[in-house]
Amino acid sequence: MQERDDKAWTSQPPALLEVRGLRVAYGGIQAVKGVDFEVREGELVSLIGSNGAGKTTTLKAVTCGLLPVDGEILYQGRSIRGAGAWDLVAKGLIMVPEGRGVFARMSITENLLMGAFTRKDKSGIAADMEHMFELFPRLRERAAQLAGTMSGGEQQMLAMARALMGRPKILLLDEPSMGLSPIMVDKIFEVVRDVHALGVTMVLVEQNASRALALADRGYVMESGLISMSGAGSELLRDERVRAAYLGE
């Protein structure tokens, strides 16, 4: 990719999230082998790569779901190594995990309220609940329905809405389109675009590279636990190596 322009670089917003030299292992197997990336305030950053590249492991380490072997994770300029995941949610670093992770025996409304469990502003919570129903009309129609009885796409909508109820400063999405019908994939990417347009900083991990990079301000390509390429989303979309490896061209 092109070398950075120092003048342009200095005019960019400060990094909200910085990952430096991240290494994560499962037993004796290194899944992430020294990853560096950053996310600036207001950006949508996509992390693409094949199965087993280390994308999900990286997100789990960032959200303190896994303890790194080495490296530093800085959020708002401060190390979060060893922090509790619940503390990060309260500070606005919120993840929608692969597989959605909805509370199956709770209603849609109860799931949304769980997303706001760190908040005390009742009027604000009520306003945000209404906003979620506007953003995801299908959730309003089924507000009393148990989450476990919903389709995969509906559960993905709920998981995203629940995360937004926490008012994230940065929202991490892990494979939001996985296993969904083409129509529902279109809807999920539409929601990702709309949420980003509201000013939410986002990290999007996706195997659907073309859709992810089309939305991204910047992207990183991950291979075998390492970042192999980075650049503007539009640049990566045009790169012949990316097109051959991830876009089937």
User: Helix/strand/coil (H, E, C) string of 106-117?
Assistant: CEHHHHHHHHCC
Look up the CATH superfamily of 42-63+84-246: P-loop containing nucleotide triphosphate hydrolases (3.40.50.300)
Best CA proximity match to 177, nearest among 132, 150, 145, 207: 207
- Residue 11 is predicted with a pLDDT of 58
- Number of helices (H), then strands (E), in the chain: 11, 10
The model's pTM is 0.89
Q: Which two tokens stand for residue 81?
A: 């190594």
Reduced to 3 states (helix: H, G, I; strand: E, B; else coil), residue 129 is helix
Q: Which residues pair with 44 in a beta bridge?
A: 202
pLDDT at 2: 43
For every residue of 74-103, DSSP letters joined together read EETTEE-TT--HHHHHHTTEEEE-TT----
Per-residue pLDDT tens digits of the chain, which is 249 residues long: 444 444 444 456 779 999 999 999 998 899 999 999 999 999 999 999 988 899 999 999 999 888 899 999 999 999 998 888 888 999 999 999 888 789 999 999 999 999 999 999 999 999 999 999 999 999 999 999 999 999 988 999 999 999 999 999 999 999 999 888 999 899 999 999 999 998 999 999 998 899 999 999 999 999 999 999 999 999 999 999 999 888 765
Cβ–Cβ under 8 Å, residues 163 and 176: no
Element (H, E) at 242: helix 240-246
Domain boundaries, the chain: 42-63+84-246
